[in-house]
């Protein structure tokens, strides 16, 4: 593995790329795809259960009360991203079709993703309680804010058919396991702490499951085959640019405002992500079926880019933290 170290390519990034290749070559269809979706839901619930069991009551309260951090994340998700989407308007009708530009606007109004934001924050050694609170709240707010923001930016009209049902699903999949794990902490907290090194792979495994199911779905829908090559290149470049600008802005804001390293990690990962799991159901409600493929395409591309980039960044944060710990141990 020495050649991997020289290239500074970590094994998890290689696992991500291998997962993408596997989904491209062998996408799940039919009943197996549904089974994998159900299994991924269980893995996500298990992830939140374990996070609930790991965190103390004091840590959860500190995460909820960290209002400055939450404001920075929400400003990035629901203000900075939409403004960047408006700045891309000159591309509409030239390098981008109107449908693809509308898809980029839709992407910019979506809430932050939940499971991968928390998983990457945990992998990087960030403020997990704050990430849990911000990412979960972002998903709840997005149920209402995404249609309103998109209507204001694009002049489109639409809304959620039943926002209470969406909120109920989010709470059932994410918050209920988290609360259950936390209340069982008294009995299982010690075991979870002792197995922390092994349970780290729960975070990584969940991300790999999400990547595989997302890429399988995109291959089965035919999005990659029906999009002109030039338009695809432009969308990929714009999505990468959006992610780079927001990551740079959130990093700068976190350091400028004096946040700790752990808080910076939560801000960067929660403030720069967009949710595919929330976006696709919303798109089916907000848009006509004829334009749905082009509108969802930027969300799917951005999702894949953010997973790969954030995996690399999380490993970089973790390596830096390990290096500092070794130096401090040597100094002692």
pLDDT at 112: 92
Residue 160 and residue 143 in contact, taking contact as beta carbons nearer than 8 Å: yes
Can you tell me the mean pLDDT for 136-147?
79
Answer yes or no: is 68 within a domain: yes
Rounded Cα gap, residues 69 and 77, in angstroms? 13
Query: Whole-number mean pLDDT of the chain?
Result: 79
CA 283 to chain centre: 17
Can you tell me the mean pLDDT for 67-77?
94
Which region among 28-37, 162-171, 194-203, 294-303 has the lowest average model confidence (pLDDT)? 162-171
3-state secondary structure of 93: coil
Helix H or strand E encompassing 253:
helix 229-256
Question: Which DSSP string corresponds to 275-323?
Answer: -HHHHHHHHHHHS-HHHHHHHHHHHHHHHHHHHHHHHHHHHHHHHHHHH
Report whether pLDDT(2) > 60.
Answer: no
Which region among 39-48, 185-194, 318-327 has the lowest average model confidence (pLDDT)? 318-327
Answer yes or no: is 158 within a domain: yes
Answer yes or no: is 62 within a domain: yes
Can you tell me the mean pLDDT for 228-238?
87
Query: Rounded to the nearest 10 degrees, what angle do helices 289-331 and 196-221 cross at?
Result: 160
Task: Find the radius of gyration of the CA atoms of the chain.
Answer: 20
Give me the domain span that covers residue 133. Answer: 31-321
Which region among 4-18, 40-54, 61-75, 303-317 has the lowest average model confidence (pLDDT)? 4-18
CA triplet 75, 79, 84: central angle to 5 degrees? Answer: 130
Upper half-sphere CA count for residue 162 (Cβ side, 13 Å): 5
Instruction: State the total domains in the chain.
Output: 1
Residue 178 token pair:
């988290």
3-state secondary structure of 78: helix
Rounded Cα gap, residues 48 and 202, in angstroms? 10
Check which CATH number belongs to the domain holding 315 and give it: 1.20.1530.20
Residue 55 token pair:
């965190």
Answer yes or no: is 331 within a domain: no
Residue 92 and residue 101 in contact, taking contact as beta carbons nearer than 8 Å: yes
Answer yes or no: is 101 within a domain: yes
pLDDT at 160: 42
pTM: 0.71
* Of residues 116, 97, 123, the one with CA closest to residue 302: 116
pLDDT digits (tens, 9 = 90+) for 78-130: 999 999 999 999 988 778 888 889 889 999 999 998 778 888 998 888 988 88
Answer yes or no: is 16 within a domain: no
* Of residues 115, 146, 145, the one with CA closest to residue 280: 146
CA 117 to chain centre: 5
Percent of the chain with pLDDT over 70: 77
Through-space distance between the first and last CA atoms of the chain, rounded to whole angstroms:
31
Answer yes or no: is 302 within a domain: yes
Can you tell me the mean pLDDT for 195-224?
72
Give me the phi and psi of 13, to 5 degrees please. -60, -40
Residues near 81 by Cβ (< 8 Å), separated by ≥ 6?
107, 108, 109, 242, 246, 274
Residues near 183 by Cβ (< 8 Å), separated by ≥ 6?
52
Check residues 53 and 247 and name the one with the higher pLDDT: 247
Answer yes or no: is 215 within a domain: yes
Check residues 260 and 143 and name the one with the higher pLDDT: 260
């Amino acid at each position: 593995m020495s050649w991997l170290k020289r290239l500074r390519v970590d094994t998890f990034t290689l696992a991500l790329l291998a997962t993408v290749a596997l989904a491209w070559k062998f996408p799940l269809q039919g009943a197996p795809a549904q089974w994998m979706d159900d299994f991924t839901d269980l893995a996500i619930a298990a992830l939140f259960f374990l996070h609930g069991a790991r965190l103390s009551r004091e840590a959860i309260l500190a995460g909820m009360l960290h209002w400055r951090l939450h404001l920075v994340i929400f400003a990035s998700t629901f203000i900075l991203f939409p403004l960047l989407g408006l700045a891309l308007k000159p591309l509409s009708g030239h390098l981008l079709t109107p449908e693809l530009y509308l898809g980029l606007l839709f992407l910019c109004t979506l809430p932050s993703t939940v499971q991968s934001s928390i998983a990457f924050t945990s992998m990087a050694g960030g403020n997990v309680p704050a990430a849990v609170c911000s990412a979960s709240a972002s998903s709840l707010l997005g149920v209402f804010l995404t249609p309103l923001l998109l209507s204001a930016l694009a002049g489109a009209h639409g809304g959620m058919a039943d926002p209470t049902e969406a909120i109920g699903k989010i709470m059932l999949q994410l918050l209920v396991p988290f609360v259950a794990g936390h209340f069982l902490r008294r009995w299982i907290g010690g075991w979870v702490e002792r197995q922390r090194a092994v349970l780290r792979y729960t975070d990584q495994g969940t991300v790999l499951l999400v990547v595989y199911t997302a890429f399988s779905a995109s291959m089965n829908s035919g999005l990659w085959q029906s999009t002109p090559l030039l338009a695809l290149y432009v969308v990929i470049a714009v999505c990468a640019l959006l992610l780079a600008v927001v990551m740079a802005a959130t990093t700068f804001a976190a350091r400028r405002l004096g946040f700790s390293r752990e808080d910076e990690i939560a801000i960067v990962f929660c403030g720069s992500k967009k949710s595919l799991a929330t976006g696709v159901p919303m798109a089916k409600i907000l848009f006509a079926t004829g334009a749905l493929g082009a509108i969802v395409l930027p969300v799917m591309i951005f999702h894949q880019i953010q997973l790969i980039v954030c995996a690399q960044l999380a490993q970089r944060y973790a390596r830096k933290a390990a290096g500092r710990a070794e130096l401090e141990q040597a100094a002692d």
